[in-house]
Amino acid sequence: MPYIITRRIDNPVKKKSYRQYRAASVLVGLSRAICDCLKEACPESKVERIPSSPVTYPVDEEQVKKIRSTYNGKTLVIQAANMYEHKGFDVSIRAAEIVEKFHPEVQFVFLGDGRMRQELEEQASGLSNVHFAGKQANMGDWFAAADLMIHPAYTEGLGSVILEALNTGLPVIATRAGGIPDIIEDGVNGHLVEIGNAQQLAENLVLLSRFESKKSILVSNIANSLQEFRIEHTARKYISIYESLS
């Protein structure tokens, strides 16, 4: 029976899985980085790139106002992810430390939970501009309330949360990790920084927080940049694969 495998992570395919992957009719990777991993493990296989599509969340305007009032009108910079090593929260905290002294108007809010949380809270101890808000169900409200989102991941298959943020018009600063450059074109619809570089992250977020015109340019380009990620487009690509196997 024909089958396809869709891979979401850009780690090398484990050798124990080679047989299953190589027997698949089609291998699908969410990003160019993932497709490269698939081609390395399965050089004779057919590999297609089909990215994720962004989820649209509801927005409660009263909750948006409540979030903004909680942070007293400061420039709200969020990071939303599970608190694992590869998500780069430690880089965000180092950036917050750089920003705190000269730009007290910038507030970092970390949304999420995970095994690294206690260690990260200890790292951020003493910083007045960092708040751990925990895991949130109402991400639409947070995207609407925030001024910027950061995602300084060390590795990332694609970056679904980046798509979700951009889909609401929220500018994102992220790293050049994995599939992220498939989504963000530096200086066009967001900003890219080098992996692990807290100084670059700090400089870019201060730039966008201080100069609304630069942020507006990014926002104006977001909608057009998301066309290939729309569900109509990605669904058609999957349908085409299924039809070719029937």
Q: What is the pLDDT of residues 50-93, one digit of tens each?
A: 999 999 999 999 999 999 999 988 999 999 999 999 999 999 99
Q: What is the pLDDT of residue 113?
A: 98
pLDDT confidence band for 246 (50 / 70 / 90) = confident
Q: Is residue 148 a contact partner of residue 75, using CB atoms and an 8 Å limit?
A: yes
Over residues 111-167, the pLDDT tens digits come to 999 999 999 999 999 999 999 999 999 999 999 999 999 999 999 999 999 999 999
Do 184 and 174 meet the contact criterion of CB atoms below 8 Å apart? yes
Rounded Cα gap, residues 60 and 138, in angstroms: 9
Mean pLDDT of the region 6-34: 97
Q: Is 112 left (phi over 0), alpha (psi -120 to 50) or beta?
A: left
Structure tokens at 102: 């000269």
Q: Are 30 and 10 in contact (CB under 8 A)?
A: no
Tokens 């994102």 -> residue: 172
pLDDT at 172: 98
Where are the chain's structural domains?
4-53+230-245, 61-225
Distance of CA 196 to the CA centre of its chain: 15
pLDDT tier, 17 (very low <50, low <70, confident <90, very high otherwise): very high
Rounded to the nearest integer, the mean pLDDT of the chain is: 97
Residue-level pLDDT at 73: 85
pLDDT at residue 195 tops 90: yes
The CATH code of the domain at 61-225 is 3.40.50.2000
Question: Across residues 2-22, what is the average pLDDT?
Answer: 97
